[in-house]
Structure 1
Amino acid sequence: MKMETEIKQLVAENWEIFLNDLAKVIRIPSVQGVPEEDCPFGGEPKAAVLKALDIAKSYGFETKLVNDAIGYAQFGESRADQKYFGIIGHLDVVPANEPSWDSPPFDLSQRDGVLYARGILDNKGPIMSCLFGLKLIKDLGIQPKIPIRVLFGSNEETGSQDIPLYLEKEVPPMFGFTPDCKYPVVYGERGIVNLAIKTSIVDKALDRLGDFQGQMSRSVVPSELSVTFDGQQITALGKSSPSNAPEMGINSITKLARELRDILPSGELQTYFSWLDDYLSDEHYGEKLGIGYSDAASGKLILTPVLIKKTDQHEVCLELAIRYPISVTEDRIIAKIKENLPQNAQVSVTRSLKGTNFPKDNAYVTLLSVIYGKVTGLDATPVTTTGATYARYMPNTVAFGPSFPGQKGIAHKENEYFIEDDLKTNLIIYALAIYELCLSDSYQP
């Protein structure tokens, strides 16, 4: 309890210093760019990593850039057995092209107790708070028995290809967490599969349909989409939300399908958009496709149409993003969907991530859970998530924070925000976790 009080005081005294350093990293528009010889994911993500390492050096930490992909700051001397604890977050961000930002997305803005910026929540704010928590523990004169590394990734948003590059040169942590999900400790992540459904339209009606126009991404519910038919433009306006929270948005793909089914002449194309509307409009949990699976550990399957386009083979290609419970298999899902496809349709897998299921009774899961419960007074029972984090790729890793229960659908949108008091609480939780890890001298699986 004494350490918690001391850390809270240090956070209050050093808050403006932390925000000033965080703003330096926020300022870099670290969206994936064109690969270069020494910048595998473009110049800006690497620049953000280098800036974080510069800040870490100013705090007195040893730093290293690994394969131009991930940098780390280490507290404590390296060991012959190479053991260390890891805290891994990412500094790359999704684009900030939305026109309705109320402040420049790459400037850290404060309004009425809320911080706004691209990356403030996902994930610059949380991982930089971990670095600052490491600094506070170091400044208290505490020394870790096992080294602690804060790792800064540069490719989480577009595939986590930075993790294999790191593991080419370094061993994984003996235990670690990523502050890129939610509280309490996340011990399991649902499986993810993206399916492309290609439907042939052979009656020439597709020649009269233009190309689909709009911003579409596998990570979000599309908010605006338009297409022409016989030169007439049809537009559907929706509402963006993360693809793992489709119920919070309005999907412009299904909305456009409903518009098209009402104006298209009878035929294969009209039948196709009728199928799309019937089976997918507001069907966030897949019941009409026969995949409405759920379990007690992870809840309901989540289904989101994320992409639609014409192909050169007189087809319409629709991509579905599916996040499924840890008790269900990908093969079972695909088999059921095949029973409910439109005519002349084929399905293929475009992305596949198996779920994770870390032992809930692991000693360090318990440690993090206890810290979270003491600081917040909230239920600390470990949970699962629909999200995908570095924990899928980095061995011995769980997700831990930064969002509190009830906070959902904030990242990947305009005016991305973090309530300032919540970010302070995160910093306190992470600093206490680092303090407890400093005292640990063994790994208890």
Structure 2
Amino acid sequence: MNWKETTAVYENDLIKDLQRLLAVESVKMEARPNAPFGLKCREALDEMLAMAKRDGFATQDIDGYAGVITYGEGEESVGVLGHLDIVPIGDGWSRDPYGSELVDGVLFGRGALDDKGPGMAAYYALKAIKDAGIKLKRKVMLIYGCDEESGMACMKYYREHGEIPTMGFVPDANFPLIYGEKGIYVFTLSGKVNTVIQTMEAGSRPNIVIGKANATVHAMSEEQERLFSFYLKSHQLNGNLRREADGSVRIYMEGKPFHAMAPFHGVNAGLHLLNFIGAAYDDAFARAIYALFGDWQGSGLGIAAEGARMGFLTLNTGVIEIKEGQVKIVNDIRYPIDVDAVQMKAQIAKQIEAGTLALTLAVSNDSAPLYVDPKSELVSTLEAIYRKHSGDETTPIMTIGGGTYARNFDQFVAYGPELPNMNQNVNMKIGGPHQEDEGIQISDLMMAMAIYAESIAALAGETA
């Protein structure tokens, strides 16, 4: 079959359905009955399942944690794992993040690229297979979770209550294919501290480099104000001061947010703010925290490492909060498969305990690296289909620092939808995952749909 031609007829329907999903503010919120990640995530899941029922698919609601859309029969199955939750909007948008605006072939909105758009491409790929009447030897399961961005509790629940696919892929990363993902270790330091900082608010998620940070101190001298101006200029940062009626001073710094898988592409405003306060106020707490976490390679913790297959270990401080002398600091580590995870965790605990700060360490996520043999049938099949459709014979398959649903199951890889140089020759700003003005080119989405359709048919095994 010519899958590009077969899937092309669904373009308008895909756009309309995707716009409906993008209009839902599916950020994780307070749990409610049958809505463990909040009512908006529940709404997005209901929308997705309603579309599937409309089109004649069998569906299953896994208690609001995830939804399953199935086609075909068989003891073995092919799974496609997507997610309907999104990260918070953040600042800097020039378009309505929930407006689903289509401009010159680009669809904008939070989740357009991560991961509602790709999830919809996979859905319409399966719809094209079903509408064509193609019979498959393996059952196909589209599984949509609601907590990918906040720890993947949805997949933990699914593994305990849902059917596990035999093999498959996750449309939530890059083409050609990702066969390895670094381990993820997220931990929080908390406790009472002695600091000149009265309050501090910086960051919202451990997996995002802190883009903006605010702190209040009891006072600021003219010399300290000059030091602040010098710090901003020397580090090429934006920021400002606001003197309050009680004499306290509100300090603001602006960095650059980025995904925690590559913190070196961002600028951590929270750590910069601590670094300034530590130096300008001779604040032992601020100095100690910056010494521990200021280096994105983890040298402050004594865990710096470079793997042969996955590159550098990375460290991101994603949340810093101080109120009434109580502090909470959340850190996200991505480590290559070469690193001994037990030794790394022991070293972190040792370094924290050896410091002067009496802080408690609590682990919120501990996920081992993913690695699928790059010469396996799964990888070889998917890679060949990508290259057939794209004509790309040079971009290598890869490993990444990001974490996708693939790490939750055996024989799963991440597979698109981002094409190499996908934003090339577009005369407008298009944000990536977790960035302002997030968007996806419809042509890239349609390319992904054709690739996914042929890939599902190949993995599920067409019958004669």
- Measured against the shorter chain, the TM-score band is 0.7 to 0.9
Corresponding position of 1:324: 335
Corresponding position of 2:419: 404
Is the contact made by 2:187 and 2:361 (CA closer than 8 Å) also made in structure 1? yes
Corresponding position of 2:237: none
Which aligned pairs between 1:16-31 and structure 2 lie closer than 5 A? 16-31=12-27
**Residues 1:367 and 2:348 aligned together:** no
Match of 1:15 among 11, 14, 34: 11
Is the contact made by 1:75 and 1:147 (CA closer than 8 Å) also made in structure 2? yes
Match of 1:217 among 205, 224, 241: 205
1:309-350, Cα deviation, whole Å (9 max, x unpaired) = 3377x5654332111111102332244444586433556242
Corresponding position of 1:356: 370
CA pair 378-302 structure 1, distance change in 2 beyond 3 A: farther
Corresponding position of 2:270: 253
Is the contact made by 2:128 and 2:453 (CA closer than 8 Å) also made in structure 1? yes
1:153-211, Cα deviation, whole Å (9 max, x unpaired) = 1221222222243334432001121111222322221111123345875xxx52x4211
Counterpart Cα distance in 1 of 2:393 and 2:356? 51
CA pair 199-165 structure 1, distance change in 2 beyond 3 A: closer
Which aligned pairs between 1:167-186 and structure 2 lie closer than 5 A? 167-186=159-178
Counterpart Cα distance in 1 of 2:7 and 2:64? 32
Corresponding position of 2:245: none
Q: How far apart are 1:132 and its partner, in Å? A: 0.3
Report the count of equivalent residues.
Answer: 423
SS at match of 2:444: helix
Corresponding position of 1:295: 307
Q: How far apart are 1:92 and its partner, in Å? A: 1.3
TM-score by length of 1: 0.87
1:193-247, Cα deviation, whole Å (9 max, x unpaired) = 123345875xxx52x4211024432121111112122122222211211122212
Counterpart Cα distance in 1 of 2:259 and 2:319? 14
Match of 1:272 among 279, 285, 307: 285
Counterpart Cα distance in 2 of 1:216 and 1:65? 29
**Residues 1:41 and 2:37 aligned together:** yes
CA pair 153-197 structure 1, distance change in 2 beyond 3 A: closer
Match of 2:401 among 386, 390, 403: 386
Match of 2:438 among 391, 394, 416: 416
Q: How far apart are 1:148 and its partner, in Å? A: 0.8
Counterpart Cα distance in 2 of 1:252 and 1:321? 16
Is the contact made by 1:40 and 1:68 (CA closer than 8 Å) also made in structure 2? yes
Corresponding position of 2:54: 58
Is the contact made by 2:201 and 2:322 (CA closer than 8 Å) also made in structure 1? no
Q: Could you list the runs of 5+ residues in structure 2 that have no partner in the other structure?
A: 219-247, 424-430
Counterpart Cα distance in 2 of 1:317 and 1:35? 22
Q: Over the residues paired in the alignment, what is the CA RMSD in angstroms?
A: 2.5
Is the contact made by 1:163 and 1:394 (CA closer than 8 Å) also made in structure 2? no
Q: Which shows bigger deviation, 375-384 or 15-24?
A: 375-384
Counterpart Cα distance in 2 of 1:147 and 1:33? 33
Q: Could you list the runs of 5+ residues in structure 1 that have no partner in the other structure?
A: none
Counterpart Cα distance in 1 of 2:20 and 2:388? 32
Q: Which shows bigger deviation, 299-308 or 317-326?
A: 317-326
Corresponding position of 1:241: 258
Q: Which shows bigger deviation, 39-48 or 330-339?
A: 330-339
Is the contact made by 1:286 and 1:301 (CA closer than 8 Å) also made in structure 2? yes
Corresponding position of 1:192: 184
Corresponding position of 1:91: 84
Is the contact made by 1:272 and 1:342 (CA closer than 8 Å) also made in structure 2? no
Is the contact made by 2:203 and 2:318 (CA closer than 8 Å) also made in structure 1? no
CA pair 165-316 structure 1, distance change in 2 beyond 3 A: closer
SS at match of 2:150: coil
**Residues 1:74 and 2:70 aligned together:** yes
Counterpart Cα distance in 2 of 1:378 and 1:291? 37
Is the contact made by 2:28 and 2:147 (CA closer than 8 Å) also made in structure 1? yes
Counterpart Cα distance in 1 of 2:414 and 2:320? 32
CA pair 110-280 structure 1, distance change in 2 beyond 3 A: same
Q: How far apart are 1:296 and its partner, in Å? A: 2.1
**Residues 1:343 and 2:364 aligned together:** no
1:380-416, Cα deviation, whole Å (9 max, x unpaired) = 6542221111122234322211223467982122211
